[in-house]
């Protein structure tokens, strides 16, 4: 089995943002040479996540609104007693998830017709990493 690891670096201008990363993941898979296997894409920070969904601006806004309703910013979270102000970011990450595994078939990401990969930032404005680990047979 062959493995290939790369890191994507993000430093979003906004505290809360969504970044479409499918093209970067496709490039990493191509560079890996893996023909049959999988790509693990995982946010390496506890206030960011990775998910698969449709690349449609209305849906992305709906996801933001849904997460804000479930984990509102500015609520009196116990975590804030430590001096932090990002408890909502930790909770949003739990809801959206921190990683995805995408199958690779014939050297290509094997995504459904509308599926795309996204990095979700919930406490941005500083450098964060996503690991991409491609595993499989060349």
**Domains of the chain with bracketed CATH:** 2-73+84-126 (2.60.120.460)
What pLDDT score does 90 carry?
Answer: 98
pLDDT digits (tens, 9 = 90+) for 107-138: 999 999 999 999 999 999 999 999 999 999 99
What pLDDT score does 118 carry?
Answer: 98
pLDDT digits (tens, 9 = 90+) for 54-103: 999 999 999 999 999 999 999 999 999 999 999 999 999 999 999 999 99
Residue 15's alpha-carbon distances to 22, 61, 91, in angstroms, are 21, 15, 15
pLDDT confidence tier of residue 17, bands split at 50, 70 and 90:
very high
């Amino acid at each position: 089995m062959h493995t290939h690891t790369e890191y994507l670096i993000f430093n979003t201008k906004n505290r809360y943002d969504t970044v479409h990363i499918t093209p970067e993941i496709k490039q990493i898979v191509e560079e890996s040479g893996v023909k049959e296997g999988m790509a693990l894409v995982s946010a390496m920070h506890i206030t960011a996540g990775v998910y698969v969904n449709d690349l449609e601006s209305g849906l992305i806004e709906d996801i933001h609104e849904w997460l804000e309703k479930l984990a509102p910013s500015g609520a009196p979270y116990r975590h804030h007693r430590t001096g932090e102000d990002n408890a909502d970011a930790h909770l949003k990450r739990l809801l959206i998830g921190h990683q995805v595994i995408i199958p690779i078939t014939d050297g290509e990401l094997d995504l459904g017709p509308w599926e795309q990969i996204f990095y979700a930032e919930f406490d941005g404005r500083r450098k964060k990493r996503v690991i991409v680990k491609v595993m499989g047979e060349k």
